[in-house]
A = this chain, B = another copy of it.
């Protein structure tokens, strides 16, 4: 009677949770594949279909895990509403950059899991406390989500396993013809740092300024 973990079923050697956990350890530049996860678990690919309807279900579960890994509690506490949003946003960015291929998941899987809803609720609370109407708070919430995911995805693609320093150095080395693209050439030292946390914070800051002004 003590070994009933979730349901009576006794023969079950796996679980959906275990599959998702295994998949979380398999990020390496690609989204974990059904066959890859099965191989890691020492099982045939089609075995996973006992626990998951399809690959999309795995992806949705991974999305929710990643949101939790960034620690939604960073949205609580007594720091300013802006600080709390920035802290969670940076944490999520870090999580998505550490697990290569994680950012891309958010663009094929809907964010409707429990952690997504929790993060949404807390962002709404923060924007409401900043004086926004419920409707504007909702719009601001999505604006922040778009920024974090869009930025993390582009940066993940650009890093592609290299460090931030390497990528910035490589971009700095590019020569822009000042005849053809004068402004691009003039601003290139900044443009070379587009995929850094500094840029991420700058644009998030600008976005929050614009939202707060509503």
**Which A residues have a C-beta under 8 Å from some C-beta of B?**
103-104, 106-110, 117, 120-121, 124-125, 128, 134-135, 137-143, 145-147, 149-151, 153-154, 156-158, 181-184, 186-187, 189-191, 194, 199, 202-203, 205-211, 213-214
| Bound-complex Cα distance A150 to B148 (A) | 8
23 residue pairs bridging A and B, Cβ less than 8 Å apart? A107-B107, A107-B154, A108-B157, A109-B157, A120-B181, A120-B191, A121-B181, A124-B184, A128-B183, A135-B187, A135-B190, A137-B187, A138-B190, A139-B199, A140-B206, A142-B203, A143-B147, A143-B203, A145-B154, A150-B153, A150-B154, A206-B214, A210-B211
* Nearest CB of B to A160, in Å: 9
Residues B142 and A107 in contact, CB atoms below 8 Å apart: no
Chain B: CB-nearest residue to A114: B180
Other-chain contact of A117, B103, B138, B151, B184 (Cβ < 8 Å): B184
The secondary-structure label for the interface of chain A is helix
Q: How far is the CB of A77 from chain B (nearest CB, A)?
A: 18
Given A150-B149, A202-B139, do A110 and B183 touch, yes or no (CB 8 Å)?
A: no
Judging by beta carbons under 8 Å apart, are B135 and A181 in contact? no
Identify which of A134, A145, A208, A211 gathers the most chain B CB atoms within 10 Å of its CB.
A134
Complex: A72 Cα to B112 Cα, angstroms? 35
> Nearest residue in B to A120 (C-beta to C-beta)?
B184
In Å, the complex CA distance between A41 and B120 comes to 47
* CB of A126 to closest CB in B, whole Å: 10
User: Whose C-beta in chain B lies nearest to the C-beta of A125?
Assistant: B183
Q: Determine the distance from Cα of A121 to Cα of B181 in the docked complex, in whole angstroms.
A: 6
The answer to whether A121 touches B183 (Cβ under 8 A) is yes
Q: Contacts of A142 on B, CB cut-off 8 Å?
A: 191, 194, 199, 203
Q: How far, in Å, is A192 (CB) from chain B's closest CB?
A: 9
| B residues near A186, Cβ cutoff 8 Å | 134
